[in-house]
Chains A and B, each alone.
Chain A
Amino acid sequence: MAREVDERAGAPLLTVERGEDDAGRPLVRLSGDLTLETAPALWRALGGAANARCDLSGVRTAQPGALALLVERLGARAPGDDRLFGAREEVARVLRLVRRFPEKVAERPRPAPLVARLGDALWRFLVQAQRVAAFAGELVVAAGRALRHPSSVRWRDVPMLCERAGVQAAVVVGAASFLAGLMLAFQLSSRLTSLGLGSVVADITGVAVTRHLAPFMTALMVAGRSGSAIAAELGTMQVTHEVDGLRVMGLDPVRYLVFPRVLSLALIVPVLTAYANITGIFGGYVVGVVQLDVPTVEFVRELRASLDLEDVVRGLLKALIFGLTIGLVACQRGLDTRGGPQDVGTAATTAVVAILFSIVALEALFAAVGSFFGL
C-alpha cells in the first residue's frame, strides 16, 4: 500500500494508505486525526480516489470540515453510502452530521460572452431610463395630489433642503463658475489681443456664462454634492425599511420624501445659477482688466450691449430643468436601492453618473434645438 504521512514534531497526525482490498477494489485506510490541520494533506493524498472504499477504523478524532473533504474526494455524499466504514461512534456521529442533508449543489454561473454583456448593459440602461421616466410620471401625479392635499407634503423640509443644497454649496459653485469664466477669457485673450478686440471678452464671457457655463457648472456641483447625498439618504432609508414604514402608515414616499427634495432643487439651482452668472462674469472681467487692459467702464458697456435679458432667462430656465433632473434622478436611484449598506454607496455613485450623463445630454439637446430654431 502507498503511504502518506502528515506529521508534526515527529508524531504522525494522519496516515493515509492507498491500495486495494481482497476483491481488487481501490481502498484507502486512514489513521490518526481528521482535522483542519491534517485536511490539506488528506486532500492532496486522495486526489483521484473517487469511488474508493475507505477504512476509518484508525481515525481517532474527526472534525466535520476534514470529514466533509474526505466525503467530497470519495464522492460519498449520500447518507446511505457504505464505502466509508469502520468508524468509531464519535467519528460516525460527525459523519452523519456531514451527510445529513441531501445534495443540492448550485452551478456556478458561467461568464457571459462579450456581446451578451454589452447587450445586457444596454438593456439595463434602457430599463433605468424607463424607470426614471415612470418615476417622473409618479412625481407629476404626486404633485397634483399635493396641490389638492397640501398637508400631505412636508413643506417645512423645503427651506432646510434649500439651505443644504444652496447656501452650503454657494462657495463651491461661485468658485467653480469664477474659474470657468476666468479659463474661458484666458483661452480667448491671446487671439483677441492679436486682433485688437480686447473688449470683446465682455461680450463672449457674458453670453457664454449666462447661457451655458453658469447653469452647467452649477448643475455639476449640485449633482456631485446634493445628488449623491439625496441618493444615499433615500437609499439608507430604503434598506433600513424606513420607506416601507412610511408606506404602511399610509404616507406616499413620493409626496413625503421626493416632492420636497425635487422642489427644493428646482428652486435653488436657478438661484445658484444667477449667483454663478455674477462670479463667472467676474472671472472674465479679471482677465479683461489684468490681461487685456480693458477699462472697467468699457467692459461694463460691452457687457450691457451684448447681454440680453433673454440670455439670462434662458440660462435660468435651463437651470430649473437641470434642478428638476438632479432631484428626479437622485431620488429615483435612492428609492431603487435594494439590499444592504454597500448598495447605498452604489446608489449614490450611479446617481451621480446618471445625473451627469443626463445634464450633458440635455445640454447637447438644448444646443441642437437652439441651433435648429436659430435661438
Chain B
Amino acid sequence: MSADDVVIRVQELTIGYDRILLEHVSFEVRRGEVFGILGRSGAGKSALLRHLIGLEPPWTGHVWIEGLGEPRLRVDERPRFGVLFEGGALLGSLTLRENLALPLRTWTALDEAAIDALVTAKLRMIGLAGDEDRLPGELSSGMRKRASIARAQMLEPTLMFLDEPTAGLDPVTAEEIDELILTLNRNLGTTLVIVTHDLASILRTVTRCILLDDETRSIVAEGDPRRLRVASTDPRVHDFFHRLAGRVP
C-alpha cells in the first residue's frame, strides 16, 4: 500500500464526552474501500464517526483526511465528503426536491432548471422518482435512507461516511441499501466509511474493518470481516461475529 492510497489516517486518537470512550486508536482508510467501524452498542462507533468528520474535537491524537487535513466543519467551504446520519437528517420542513437541491444551490453554479433536472435524475437513480414533492415525514424509513444517501452524494464526494445505514430496516430494504452502497463504491469508486453492527450488511458490503471494544476502549481486530469471522481466535471477535450468526444469510 502506498501513501497515496490512504484517504483517512487516524493516529493515537483518544475521544470521549464526560468519560473516555476510546483510547489511543490508530488506523487508516484506503482509497476505494468500504471500511467498516464495527462494535457492539456503546462501543463508541458513532462517537468515533463524529470525531472523524470533525463534529467533535478529539481529547488527544489526530485525524487526517486527504485534501482536507484535520477535519473541521467550515460553514463557508464546500464540504469535501458526504455524511449519512442514522436518522437521515433530512430537513423535515422541506420536500425531497428541496432537500436534494440544497447543496447544489449552495455550492454549484447550476441554474434552477439544471438543479431541478439533476435532482429528478438522482431521485430516479435511487428509485424515488415521483416522490420529489413529498415531505420526509411522508416516506418510509427505507425511502428516507435512500433519499439521505442521495443528498449526501449530491456534490459527488469521493469519500462518504454512513452511520448505521441499515439500522431499523427490514432485511429486504436493508439489502437494497447495501446494493446502493455497493453501487456507489464499485461504479463511482467512492470510498465509504460505514458504522454498523448489522452483521449481514457487514458481510455483504465491508471490505476491511476495525472492531471496537467498550471494555478495553480500543480496537481489538482489524481486517477483512469474512476472514475475521472464520479465523479470529480472540473471544471478543468470535463473540461479535457469531452471536447473530443465525441472522446472517
Chain A residues engaging chain B, CB cutoff 8 angstroms: 35-36, 39-40, 43, 63-65, 68-69, 71-73, 93-94, 97-98, 100-101, 103-106, 108-109, 239, 338-343
Contact = CB atoms under 8 A, between A and B. Distances in A.
A108 B133 contact: yes
A160 B107 CA distance: 51
A69 B92 contact: no
B121 A69 contact: yes
Interface stretch (B134-142, B199-207, B216-224): B134-142
Interface of B: 92-93, 108-111, 113-114, 117-118, 120-122, 124-125, 127, 129-133, 135-138, 154-156, 183, 187-188
Contact of A97 (B118, B125, B127, B138): B125
Contact of B114 (A39, A64, A97, A341): A39
Contacts of A343: 92, 137
B92 A339 contact: yes
Contacts of B93: 342
A108 B118 CA distance: 15
Rank and list the top 4 A-B pairs by shortest CB-CB distance, nearest first. Answer: A68-B121, A339-B137, A340-B92, A340-B137
A65 B129 contact: no
A36 B111 contact: no
A101 B110 CA distance: 24
Given A39-B114, A340-B92, 19 more contacts: A39-B110, A43-B110, A63-B156, A65-B122, A69-B117, A72-B118, A72-B121, A97-B187, A100-B125, A101-B124, A103-B124, A104-B129, A105-B124, A106-B129, A106-B133, A339-B92, A340-B136, A341-B92, A342-B92
Contacts of A65: 118, 121-122, 154, 156
The listed residue with most A CB atoms (<10 A of its CB), out of B130, B183, B187, is B187
Nearest to B109: A40
Contact of A64 (B92, B125, B132, B135): B125
A343 B183 CA distance: 35
A2 to B, nearest CB: 20
A191 B92 CA distance: 57
A335 B1 CA distance: 58
Contacts of A98: 121, 125
Contact of B130 (A36, A43, A73, A104): A104
Contacts of A73: 117
A97 B125 CA distance: 7
B182 to A, nearest CB: 12
B127 to A, nearest CB: 6
B156 A101 contact: no
A247 to B, nearest CB: 20
Contacts of A39: 108, 110, 114, 118
24 contacts: A36-B108, A36-B156, A39-B118, A40-B111, A43-B113, A63-B156, A64-B125, A65-B118, A65-B122, A65-B156, A68-B118, A68-B125, A72-B120, A94-B187, A97-B183, A97-B187, A98-B125, A103-B129, A104-B124, A104-B130, A239-B137, A339-B135, A339-B138, A340-B135
Contact of A101 (B114, B125, B154, B155): B125
B125 A105 contact: no
Given A35-B156, A40-B109, A97-B187, A68 B135 contact: no
B108 A43 contact: no
Nearest to A96: B187
Contacts of A341: 92
Contact of B137 (A64, A108, A338): A338
Contacts of B122: 64-65, 68
A68 B187 CA distance: 15
A68 B109 CA distance: 16
A147 B89 CA distance: 45
Contacts of B118: 39, 65, 68-69, 72
A338 B137 CA distance: 8
A109 B154 CA distance: 24
Nearest to B129: A104
A37 B244 CA distance: 45
B7 to A, nearest CB: 18
Contacts of B120: 72, 105
